[in-house]
A and B are shown apart, each in its own frame.
Chain A
Amino acid sequence: MANALSQQTQIGDALSQKNRMRLGRLFIYGPLGVMAILYLMPLWVMVVTSLKPLDEIYGGSFIGLPQTVTLDAWRAAWSQACIGTECTGLKPYFVNSLLMVIPAVVLSTAIGAINGYILTKWRFPGANFVFGLLLFGCFLPYQAILIPMARTLGLLGLAGSIPGLIFVHVAYGICFTTLFFRNYFVSLPDELTKAAMVDGAGFFRIFWSVILPTSIPIIVVSCIWQFTQIWNDFLFGVSFTSGGNSPITVALNNIVNVTTGRKQYNVDMAAAMIAAIPTLLVYIVAGRYFVRGLTAGAVKG
Chain B
Amino acid sequence: MNAAKSFSSRLAGWLPRIVVAPSLLVVIVTVYLFILWTGVISFTSSKFVPIYDFVGLEQFVRLWATPRWHTAVANLFIFSALFLLLSTGIGLLMAILLDQNIRSEGFLRAVYLYPMALSFIVTGTAWKWILNPGLGIQKVVNEFGWTDFRFDWITDPKMAIYTVVIAGVWQSSGFAMAIFLAGLRGIDNSVIKAAQIEGASLPLIYRQIIIPMLRPAMLSVIVLLSYIAIKSFDLVLALTNGGPGSATELPSTFMFSATFRRNQMGVGAASAIMMLMTVAAIIIPYLYSELRERNNG
User: Are A and B a genuine interacting pair, yes or no?
Assistant: yes
Residues B2-45 near A (CB distance < 8 A): 12, 15-17, 19-20, 23-24, 26-28, 30-35, 37-38, 41
> Known: A145-B38, A235-B233. Contact between A291 and B125, CB under 8 A?
no
- The yes or no answer to B244 lying at the interface (CB within 8 A) is no
CB distance from B274 to the nearest CB of A (A): 10
- The yes or no answer to B122 lying at the interface (CB within 8 A) is yes
Pick from A131, A144, A283: contact of B117, CB below 8 A.
A283
Interface string of A238-281 (1 = CB under 8 A from B): 11000000000100110011000000010011011001100110
User: Which of A9-17, A24-32, A98-106 is found at the contact surface with chain B?
Assistant: A24-32
Pick from B50, B100, B231, B294: contact of A142, CB below 8 A.
B231
With a cutoff of 8 Å between Cβ atoms, the chain B residues found around residue A233 in the complex are 119
Pick from B90, B174, B227: contact of A139, CB below 8 A.
B227
- The yes or no answer to B238 lying at the interface (CB within 8 A) is yes
User: Using a Cβ cutoff of 8 Å, how many contacts connect chains A and B?
Assistant: 274
Do A149 and B34 have beta carbons less than 8 Å apart?
yes
With a cutoff of 8 Å between Cβ atoms, the chain A residues found around residue B135 in the complex are 57-58, 60, 62, 265
- The yes or no answer to A111 lying at the interface (CB within 8 A) is yes
Do A174 and B275 have beta carbons less than 8 Å apart?
no
Residues A34-60 near B (CB distance < 8 A): 35-36, 38-43, 45-46, 49, 57-58, 60
Do B119 and A232 have beta carbons less than 8 Å apart?
yes
Most A Cβ at <10 Å: residue of B26, B114, B178: B114
Pick from B34, B114, B125, B217: contact of A39, CB below 8 A.
B114
- The yes or no answer to B139 lying at the interface (CB within 8 A) is yes
> Known: A35-B112, A144-B38, A300-B297. Contact between A42 and B130, CB under 8 A?
yes
Interface of chain A, main secondary structure: helix
Do B220 and A276 have beta carbons less than 8 Å apart?
no
- The yes or no answer to B61 lying at the interface (CB within 8 A) is no
Do B20 and A32 have beta carbons less than 8 Å apart?
no
Residue in B closest to A276 when the chains form the complex, CB atoms: B122
Most B Cβ at <10 Å: residue of A124, A269, A271, A298: A298
Do B26 and A144 have beta carbons less than 8 Å apart?
no
Do B94 and A299 have beta carbons less than 8 Å apart?
no
Residues B118-164 near A (CB distance < 8 A): 118-123, 125-130, 132, 135-137, 139-140, 143
Do B20 and A136 have beta carbons less than 8 Å apart?
no
- The yes or no answer to B82 lying at the interface (CB within 8 A) is no
Residues B278-297 near A (CB distance < 8 A): 279, 283-284, 287, 290-291, 293-295, 297
Do A144 and B121 have beta carbons less than 8 Å apart?
no
- The yes or no answer to A143 lying at the interface (CB within 8 A) is yes
With a cutoff of 8 Å between Cβ atoms, the chain B residues found around residue A297 in the complex are 224
> What number of A residues sit within 8 Å (CB to CB) of B?
91
User: Which of A65-73, A83-91, A112-120, A214-222 is found at the contact surface with chain B?
Assistant: A112-120
User: Which of B63-71, B190-198, B253-261 is found at the contact surface with chain A?
Assistant: B253-261
Do B174 and A39 have beta carbons less than 8 Å apart?
yes
Pick from B23, B118, B233, B255: contact of A174, CB below 8 A.
B23
Residues A105-157 near B (CB distance < 8 A): 111, 114-115, 118-119, 122, 124, 128, 130-137, 139-149, 151-152
CB distance from B136 to the nearest CB of A (A): 6
With a cutoff of 8 Å between Cβ atoms, the chain A residues found around residue B255 in the complex are 143, 146
- The yes or no answer to B113 lying at the interface (CB within 8 A) is yes
Do B97 and A31 have beta carbons less than 8 Å apart?
yes
- The yes or no answer to B216 lying at the interface (CB within 8 A) is yes
> Known: A146-B259, A291-B113. Contact between A141 and B279, CB under 8 A?
yes
Between A and B, 9 residue pairs with Cβ closer than 8 Å are A32-B98, A32-B102, A62-B137, A141-B227, A141-B272, A144-B276, A146-B259, A249-B122, A299-B183
A-contacting residues of B (Cβ < 8 Å)? 12, 15-17, 19-20, 23-24, 26-28, 30-35, 37-38, 41, 50, 90, 93-94, 97-98, 100, 102, 108-123, 125-130, 132, 135-137, 139-140, 143, 170, 174-175, 178-179, 182-183, 186, 216-217, 220-221, 224, 227, 230-231, 233-234, 237-238, 241, 251-252, 255-256, 259-260, 265, 268-269, 271-273, 275-276, 279, 283-284, 287, 290-291, 293-295, 297
